[in-house]
Amino acid sequence: MKMYMKNVSRNKNCFRCILISVIFVFSHAHASSYPDFTKIVEDNMPAVVIVNATRSYNASSNQFQNTPGMPEEFNDLFKKFFDERQNAPKRDQPSSGSGFILSSDGYIMTNHHVVNGSDNISILTNDQVTYEAELIGSDKRSDLALLKIEARNLPVVKIASMDKVKLGEWVLAIGSPFGFNQTVTAGIVSGKQRKLAGDNYVPYIQTDVAINPGNSGGPLFNLSGEVIGVNAQIYSRTGGFMGVSFAIPSDTVNDVYYQLKTKGKVSRGWLGVYIQEIDNKLAKSFGMKKPKGALVSKIIPNSPAEKSKLQQGDVILEFNGKEIKKSTDLPLLVGQAKVGKSFKVKIIRNKMIMNVPIILEELPTEDKIASIETKKIIADSISGISVKNLTPSEKNTFQVRSGVIVTNIDESINNNYDLKQGDIITKINNNVIKSADDFKKILNNVKNNTYANLLVYRQSTPIFIALKISK
C-alpha cells in the first residue's frame, strides 16, 4: 500500500512538472508571437515632437442689444458695460498636438486642425528644446500642415510607400495624448482606403491603435520603423477612444509635403461634376451586370466636364485607366491627377462603352464639387403617376429647359413610391422629356419588367431614380 501511494505521489509530481513545462512553453511561444517595438521607439522617438499653438480671443464677444420695455437710461448703462468688455485685453487659448520631423533642417508635419487659426506656434523636441515655428502652409482638405523651425542636424523619420501596407500588420503610434509626452500605443491595420463623411480627398488608414486628443498630427509606424500615416481622427460616441482610429496615408503626406514646401498650397485636379452611387436597380437600368462606377447627376457650368464631351447621365467606369469601383473613388483619383493634363475617362452612355478625353483644371478654393451621396431612391412601378407640362415660369423657377412635373401619385395603387409630388422629370433613359406626351410615349417603349432610369430635379438638385416598369 505504501509503495502504491509512493507511485501515485511520484506520478502526480511528474504530471505537475509536465503541466508546468507545457504552460511555460505555451506562454513563451505566445509572448514571442508579439513583436518587439523597443527598437522602433528608440530609433524614432527623437524625431517626434509636441506642437503647441495659441489662439487669441476677446474676453467677451457679446454684443449688447436694447431690451424692449427697459428705460433708455438703463439700456445706455448696459451698453457702456458691454462696450468696455469688448475692449478688454485679448486672452490666449492654448492647444497642443503632435508632429514629426521630415528633414534635418527643420520641416515638421502635423495636422491642419492642430494649428488652424493660431497666432503663435512652438515646437518642443524630444530633448526638451523649444523652437518658434513658422507655418509654411496648411491644407484643410487633407488636414495636414507643414511647419518650419530654425535648426540643423535634426533626427528625421523615414516615409514608407502605401504599397507596403497590409491589412492585419502591426503598427504603432507615438504622440502626446492628454499632455502625456512621448506616449507609445500599438495595434493593427484594420482597413485601407476608408472614406469619411466630408472627406473626398483622403483614403484613410483604419487601425485599432489607441488614439486620443493630443495624438493628432503624430506618426503611425510600421514594423520597419517607417511612417505609413499621420494620426488624425477617431470614431467615437463618447469623445474617447473606442477601438477605431484613422490615419492620413503616407502617399498623401508625401504629396502634400512637396506641394506645401515648394508653393505653400496644395493644387488638386477638378472635373466639375456632381456624382451619386449606383445600386443594383440603377445598374440594371444602365445595362450593367453589377453596380460600379460613378453616375454623373449634374455638370457644373464652365467646368472641365462641360468643356469636354462628358454628359449628365454618363456612368464613369475608369479614370486614367484606373477602375472606379465606388463613386467615392473618383474624387480621390481626380484630386491626385495633374492639373492641365488630358486624361481618358471611360464611360457607359446609352448602354455603350466609350472613352471621353478631358483636361483637368485646378479645384477652386471653395469646395464647389463635394460629392453628393444621394439617398437611394427606388420606385416599384409607374402605375398611378400623373404629370403635366411645365410652364415657362416653372422652367425659369426650377432652372430646367424642359420636363414634366409630377402632380399626383395614387398611393391607393402603390404607396411605395419615392417619387414625390412636385418632382420634375427631365429625362428617361437619356431621352429628353419635353412634354407629358413624351413621358407616356417613352415609357410605353420601355420593355415590361425592366428598369428605366429617370433624371429628376427635386428642390433644384438633380438625382437619378431607377423605376421598374410594370405594364
Equal CATH topology for 158-263 and 378-468: no
The pLDDT assigned to 375 comes to 37
Catalytic, 216? Answer yes
Tens-place pLDDT, residues 198-232: 677 899 999 999 988 889 999 999 999 999 999 99
Catalytic, 113? Answer yes
Q: Give dist(CA 388, CA 377) in Å, integer.
A: 22
The pLDDT assigned to 380 comes to 38
Residue 464 DSSP class: E
The pLDDT assigned to 90 comes to 65
The pLDDT assigned to 454 comes to 86
Q: Give dist(CA 287, CA 14) in Å, integer.
A: 73
Tens-place pLDDT, residues 402-421: 899 988 776 544 444 567 88
CATH code at 269-362? 2.30.42.10
Residue spans of the domains in the chain: they are: 44-148, 158-263, 269-362, 378-468
Fold classification of 158-263 (topology level): Thrombin, subunit H (2.40.10)
Say if CB 172 and CB 37 are below 8 A apart: yes
- Of the options 2.60.120.260, 2.30.42.10, 3.30.750.210, 2.60.40.420, the CATH number for the domain spanning 378-468: 2.30.42.10
Which residues of the chain are modeled with pLDDT < 70? 1-32, 57-90, 198, 237-240, 365-384, 410-418, 470-471
| Catalytic annotation, pick one of 96, 118, 143, 314 | 143
The pLDDT assigned to 104 comes to 96
Centroid of chain to Cα 22:
49
Q: Give dist(CA 169, CA 189) in Å, integer.
A: 6
Kindly report the length of the chain.
471
| Catalytic annotation, pick one of 138, 216, 245, 250 | 216
Backbone angles phi, psi at 280, to 5 degrees: -60, -45
CB neighbours of residue 222 within 10 Å = 21
Q: Give dist(CA 44, CA 99) in Å, integer.
A: 12
CATH architecture group of domain 44-148? Beta Barrel (2.40)
| Catalytic annotation, pick one of 98, 113, 142, 251 | 113
The pLDDT assigned to 416 comes to 45
- Look at residues 216, 223, 226 and name the one whose alpha carbon lies nearest to residue 246: 216
